[in-house]
Amino acid sequence: MTTAPRTPNPERTSPAQFEVLVPPPADGSTRARLGRLTLPHGVVETPQFMPVGTNATVKALDPHDIREVGATIILSNTYHLYLRPGHKRIEALGGLHKFMAWDGPILTDSGGFQVVSLGDLRKIDEGGVTFQSHIDGSYHRFTPELSMEVQESLGADIAVHFDQPVPPASTAASALAESTARSDRWALRSLQAHSRPDQALFGIIQGGRDPELRAESTRVIAGLPFDGICIGGLAGDETPTQREDTLDVVVNLLESDPRPRYLMGLGTPVDLLEAVHRGVDMFDCVLPARVARTGQLWVPGGRLNLRNARFVDDPRPVQEGCRCLLCTNFSRAYLAHLFRAEELLAYRLATCHNLTFTLDFMAEIRSALRTGTFTARLPELRSAASPSRSRALAVQSE
């Protein structure tokens, strides 16, 4: 590439204003911090979790439900919306916010994760990724420039750079180095192609679990005028320890960086807690909603499988004291019946609960940070999280 990176424009006011309200304590007991991210469509308190609205809808919910579960920002998928209904169509209809009737903040991913995950259906070269649609097999090509064009058409508050994540299965060192270097080069092209002034652009750090590659990618991405920093290539097939070691490499280097940090694709509440503890501000994951649709309901310290026979006579709410649409109106017995009868209402009620559980857990974390009790409350928060600690699942996108 002969182009140089976009230089920070002193005239430019970032559309993503991030403020650290409570920094990590000086005693080094945690890197967790309380923050506030102000975006064109609203304010996001951090640490924060973003429900995923793949096809311009958080599966089974309407926008009122999304507000009610406590979401203040959602993620939507560039790859899916590009293929169907098409970004130009959404732009002509007034943009993604209007299309899906969600007037709060939205972040779009770049499509990188999806097209790289297509396996045999995609081919990567320096220019971009050629792939076949999972819907109809038609051929398409994503480049950093096209990803920016698509994301600008969609008009989310935050776009992210078109990167090349390493596939979740373990990857040879040489392939990892190559893909990380290419991803970093695509960061420049993404920045240069991006022009929409009312849309923030976040860069994505790659580098797998290799500390040197990860550190190098961190330095490259942090050296560019992005509005925020994503940590990619995790929430895959790594162990929690591998993930935490990698996070430490990244956050060590970002310690004095003023921008928000977003770990892509995580996870269970306890995974979120541990990542917050290591300095992460933002998350997204399909997991709470996806497992809800299979009848797995999250409760403090565990989960209930509503397909289990013991619930069909249980008059109690799924979670005593939960403020969600499910728990304030219906019994475990009723939800168990709906799942058995394959009634559509089951999927909505269960999704409302798991997202409320996740978002209320994040609110509890923020409350502990606000009062300076996060470190002291870590054991309690760990046992309140659900489900128990487990290997992360490769559920970044559906």
Quick one: 181 or 312, whose CB is closer to a copy of itself? Answer: 312
> Is position 82 an interface residue for a copy of itself (rule: CB under 8 A)?
no
Size of the site for a copy of itself (CB under 8 A): 37
Q: Of residues 253, 291, 325, 369, which one binds a copy of itself by CB under 8 A?
A: 325
Quick one: 313 or 380, whose CB is closer to a copy of itself? Answer: 313
- Segment interacting with a copy of itself (CB under 8 A) among 200-208, 217-225, 296-304, 339-347: 339-347
Place of tokens 């299965």: 169
Quick one: 80 or 278, whose CB is closer to a copy of itself? Answer: 80
CB of 201 to a copy of itself, least distance (A): 26
CB of 99 to a copy of itself, least distance (A): 6
Which residues ranging from 288 to 317 are in contact with a copy of itself (CB under 8 A)? 312-313, 315
Cα–Cα distance for residue pair 197/14, rounded to 1 Å: 8
Is 125 part of the annotated catalytic residue set?
no
Is 163 part of the annotated catalytic residue set?
no
Quick one: 78 or 143, whose CB is closer to a copy of itself? Answer: 78
Q: Of residues 32, 74, 75, 100, which one binds a copy of itself by CB under 8 A?
A: 100
Cα–Cα distance for residue pair 214/256, rounded to 1 Å: 18
- In single-letter form, the type of residue at position 186 comes to W
The tokens describing 167, both together, are: 């596939």
Q: Pick the catalytic residue: 210, 271, 281, 284?
A: 284
Cα–Cα distance for residue pair 166/172, rounded to 1 Å: 10
Which residues ranging from 53 to 72 are in contact with a copy of itself (CB under 8 A)? 55-57, 59-63
- Segment interacting with a copy of itself (CB under 8 A) among 139-147, 150-158, 238-246, 322-330: 322-330
Which residues ranging from 27 to 56 are in contact with a copy of itself (CB under 8 A)? 55-56
Which residue, 363, 354, 357, 361, is CA-closest to 289? 354
Helical pair 269-277 and 344-370, crossing angle rounded to 10 deg: 20
CB of 294 to a copy of itself, least distance (A): 14
CB of 387 to a copy of itself, least distance (A): 24
> Is position 87 an interface residue for a copy of itself (rule: CB under 8 A)?
no
The tokens describing 154, both together, are: 């969609």
Quick one: 257 or 398, whose CB is closer to a copy of itself? Answer: 398
CB of 95 to a copy of itself, least distance (A): 12
SS3 labels along the chain:
CCCCCCCCCCCCCCCCEEEEEECCCCCCCCCCCEEEEEECCEEEEECEEECECCCCCCCCCCHHHHHHCCCCCEEECHHHHHHCCCHHHHHHCCCHHHHHCCCCCEEECCCHHHHHCCHHHEEECCCCEEEECCCCCCEEEECHHHHHHHHHHHCCCEEECCCCCCCCCCCCHHHHHHHHHHHHHHHHHHHHHCCCCCCEEEEEECCCCCHHHHHHHHHHHHCCCCCEEEECCCCCCCCHHHHHHHHHHHHHHHCCCCCCEEECCCCCHHHHHHHHHCCCCEEECCHHHHHHHCCEEEECCEEEECCCHHHCCCCCCCCCCCCCCCCCCCCHHHHHHHHHCCCHHHHHHHHHHHHHHHHHHHHHHHHHHHCCCHHHHHHHHHHHCCCCCCCCCCCCCC
- Segment interacting with a copy of itself (CB under 8 A) among 44-52, 84-92, 266-274, 388-396: 84-92
Q: Of residues 252, 343, 367, 383, which one binds a copy of itself by CB under 8 A?
A: 343
> Is position 341 an interface residue for a copy of itself (rule: CB under 8 A)?
yes
Q: Pick the catalytic residue: 109, 157, 184, 271?
A: 109
Q: Of residues 1, 8, 17, 89, which one binds a copy of itself by CB under 8 A?
A: 89
Q: Of residues 18, 334, 339, 357, which one binds a copy of itself by CB under 8 A?
A: 334
Quick one: 161 or 348, whose CB is closer to a copy of itself? Answer: 348
- In single-letter form, the type of residue at position 16 comes to A
Q: Of residues 331, 360, 377, 398, which one binds a copy of itself by CB under 8 A?
A: 331
Residues assigned a catalytic role: 109, 284
Question: Which residue ranges make up the site for a copy of itself (CB under 8 A)?
Answer: 55-57, 59-63, 84-85, 89, 92-94, 99-101, 312-313, 315, 325, 329-331, 333-334, 336-338, 340-341, 343-345, 347-349
